Structure 1
Amino acid sequence: MMTPATEDFHLNQWLDGAVFLDFDGTLVELAETPDTVLVAPGLVQVLAALAAKLEGRLAIVSGRPIAQIDAMLAPLKLPVAGVHGAERRDHAGQLHIASAPSLDAAQAILRALVLAHDGLLLEEKRGALALHYRLAPGLRGQCEQAMAAALAAAPGTVLLHGKMVLELKPAATNKGSAVAEFLQEAPFKGRRPVFVGDDTTDEAGIAYAQQLGGVGVKIGAGPSAARCRLASPQALHAQLAQAAASTSPTSEGDTP
């Protein structure tokens, strides 16, 4: 259920937990195309310091492929779930790949649409297809029609509606299932999860974190099940830096 956020959020009160961060719109501002986003100066260093503070209990959970996250955050390599959990690198560095339905027919449908119209971008990932229309918002209706046809041509997939993007992905994985898998492993196991995201695609992670007694944090405006909210990626950066510099982590029994 989508409800207004009702609690203040202070990450330094959750240093006994496990922190899961979305990337686009959460750690970085959205851009016209996925390859033009900018990582703020100093962010990589803050994430590295926070990962050390949390003794490794920090992971990125993104719709992007893992390789793109690594390139954006180089030289830092964190545990990452990419393509909404369809691929995942655990804390030990082992890669886990979920089985995915064939997208050949869906890909043909979407490629035809992109070739016929300027301003559309088809992002082809391992097991997923993302159709971006940020540069051609007037084509939203045609994109939705094409994605509906692509969905019908790819049994075992679901359609996600994001910010100026439609994405076809395996039905068996989502950001909530990715968090669940991390929490079965060291060093995340037994810790309360914090999930931070900005889009509808993050709601599965937010809901799962709160189901386990953790907290979900929504970045920016819009409906969300998250109990907490931050105004922008910059507001999150401030929280990350403060938590990384904190010298007094909250004890396991404290209530944020």
Structure 2
Amino acid sequence: MTFADILQPSSALFLDFDGTMVDIAPQPHAVQVPQPLIAWLRWSHDYLGGAVAVISGRQIEQIDDFLSPLRLPVAGVHGAERRRTDGELVLLTTHPLEPVEQAAARLAAEHPGLLVENKGSSVALHYRQAPHLEALCIDAMQAAVESMPGLTLLRGKMVVEAKPGGASKGRAIEAFMQEPPFAGRLPIFIGDDVTDEVGFSTVQDAGGIGIKIGDGPSVAWRRLADPAALRQEFEAAHAAKTAKASPT
């Protein structure tokens, strides 16, 4: 079964960003968005009656910048912030992050390869430029989070992040699925990281489909090799649906 077969007018499509739609870059700001992707997302939004949302660890404003001029429904910071289809912004309670940010900043000051990112609702410590420091980063952030009730530690690809305990990509998808135009549709979630596993479980528990990008263990029922493979599936689905809709 191809992606074109899976994607139907009755689907609700949820997409991670980094490592899924676009290739991961050495620095978060250096991501390149292939222009055909914007066109495909615009088409899929129309094809699915608006039931397309981005579910990302990034802030909503960053997703908007990368996907401009599109302005899709988005769950940012792993669901700590969420913009509904009607434009309303829903924010989870933000717990004090200063002690965590200070701990991350102290470590980054000692190791120039580390990058601290304050997302407003979370604090991320990136170690992509210093992968040998993974254990040190995890230990330092874990110690900081344990001193702050209400926060949990989330591990991703070369990043460790302190976020509100109630935030997850799975809960963000569940919230969207209770609202129009997503309600009553069959959910599809496409992601690449360990942070996306709860999203795969959420859609599959609802009878939908999870698609894992890349290697590594996953609960997702389907898999694609990399973001380039997904973009090829996007193009093929677009071509197939457009051809089918064209008069003969």
TM-score normalised by the shorter chain: which range applies? over 0.9
Q: Is 1:234 aligned with 2:224?
A: no
The structure, 1 or 2, with the larger RCO (C-alpha pairs under 8 Å, 6+ apart) is 1
Quick one: which of 182, 191, 196 aligns to 1:197? 191
More displaced 10-residue stretch of structure 1: 238-247 or 12-21:
238-247
1:162-177 matches, cutoff 5 A: 162-177=156-171
CA distance in 1, matches of 2:229, 2:5: 14
CA shift digits 1:183-208 (9 cap, x unpaired): 11100001111000000000111100
- Cα 1:211/1:9, change in 2 over 3 Å: farther
The residue aligned with 1:14 is 7
**Structure 1 residues not aligned, in runs of 5+:** 1-7, 250-256
- Cα 1:26/1:138, change in 2 over 3 Å: same
CA distance in 2, matches of 1:208, 1:11: 22
Q: Is 1:58 aligned with 2:52?
A: yes
CA distance in 1, matches of 2:195, 2:2: 21
Q: In 2, are the aligned partners of 1:20 and 1:194 still within 8 Å (CA)?
A: yes
CA distance in 2, matches of 1:28, 1:153: 35
- Cα 1:12/1:241, change in 2 over 3 Å: farther
- Tell me the CA shift for residue 14 of structure 1: 2.7
The residue aligned with 1:74 is 68
CA distance in 2, matches of 1:9, 1:47: 18
- Tell me the CA shift for residue 96 of structure 1: 0.8
One-letter code aligned to 1:13: I
1:99-248 matches, cutoff 5 A: 99-245=93-239, 246-247=241-242
More displaced 10-residue stretch of structure 1: 72-81 or 151-160:
151-160
More displaced 10-residue stretch of structure 1: 35-44 or 208-217:
35-44
- Tell me the CA shift for residue 36 of structure 1: 0.6
**Structure 2 residues not aligned, in runs of 5+:** none
What is the number of residues matched between the two proteins? 242
- Tell me the CA shift for residue 13 of structure 1: 2.7
Give SS of 1:193's match.
Answer: strand
Give SS of 2:35's match.
Answer: coil
Give SS of 2:32's match.
Answer: coil
- Cα 1:9/1:162, change in 2 over 3 Å: farther
Question: Runs of 4 or more off by more than 4 Å in structure 1?
Answer: none
CA distance in 2, matches of 1:206, 1:194: 8
Q: In 2, are the aligned partners of 1:12 and 1:242 still within 8 Å (CA)?
A: no
The residue aligned with 2:30 is 36
Q: In 2, are the aligned partners of 1:120 and 1:131 still within 8 Å (CA)?
A: yes
The residue aligned with 2:79 is 85
- Cα 1:210/1:76, change in 2 over 3 Å: same
CA distance in 2, matches of 1:11, 1:86: 31
- Tell me the CA shift for residue 9 of structure 1: 4.6
CA distance in 1, matches of 2:16, 2:176: 14
- Tell me the CA shift for residue 134 of structure 1: 0.5
CA distance in 2, matches of 1:184, 1:11: 25
**What is the aligned-residue RMSD (CA, Å)?**
1.3
CA distance in 2, matches of 1:244, 1:151: 44
One-letter code aligned to 1:10: F
Percent of aligned pairs sharing the same letter: 47
CA shift digits 1:158-202 (9 cap, x unpaired): 111111111111110100000001011100001111000000000
One-letter code aligned to 1:94: E
- Tell me the CA shift for residue 11 of structure 1: 4.0
CA distance in 1, matches of 2:6, 2:155: 32
CA shift digits 1:47-81 (9 cap, x unpaired): 10111111101100000000000000001111000
